[in-house]
Amino acid sequence: MCFQTADMTDVRRYPCFINRREDGKVEQGCGGGDKGCPHEKETEFCKYCRTRNCNDEKIISKYCWTNNGKIKIKGDVPCFVERTKANQINKGIGKCPSIACKTCYKHLCNDGNDLPFSYCFNGDGKGVVGCGKSNCYIAKVEY
């Protein structure tokens, strides 16, 4: 069965598909006819498969934001967005470089819009907690 509510006859007759449209939105379902990959051709952004729940977003490419724009990567590699010690935003791919960071796996998910304004150490001094503007501040120190 594909990731979609489908009649089992469709699953047997047509393969599952996953397609990332040009606007970044994902379509998942059973392919065939006007459904599936554009022109019924696989690309790095559109795949067919025939096993249960195989049409997962991680099998197609996506884009992540970086500090210099965006970069195309395979879907199972994470994007990250980090709040730096100078309270700036750092965006990239792969593992988070610090504990004041979030990883995500969706298309252009690391835009920083949901990143806390700043991070403060929690009670043990090892972990961090996201803070709003009025809760804690980080001053950028110039040397």
State pLDDT tens for residues 76-129.
899 999 988 887 899 999 999 998 889 999 999 999 887 776 667 766 767 777
Which domains are delineated in the chain? 8-59 (no CATH), 61-131 (2.10.60)
| pLDDT over 60 (residue 5) | no
Quickly list H helices, 3-99.
8-13
Nearest to 112 by CA among 121, 120, 102: 102
Question: Letter for the amino acid at 5?
Answer: T
Instruction: Read off the DSSP letter of residue 10.
Output: H
Tens digits of residue pLDDT in 36-88: 898 889 999 999 998 989 999 999 999 999 999 999 998 889 999 998 888 78
The answer to whether the beta carbons of residues 100 and 83 sit under 8 Å apart is: yes
The verdict on pTM exceeding 0.85 is no
Confidence band for 33, pLDDT divided at 50, 70 and 90? low
111 — alpha (psi -120 to 50), left (phi > 0) or beta?
alpha
With b meaning 16 or more CB within 10 Å and e meaning fewer, what string describes 118-141?
Answer: bbeeeeeeeebebbeeeeeebeee
E-state strands within 67-131: 69-74, 79-83, 89-93, 101-104, 118-121, 128-131
At residue 100, the pLDDT reads 85
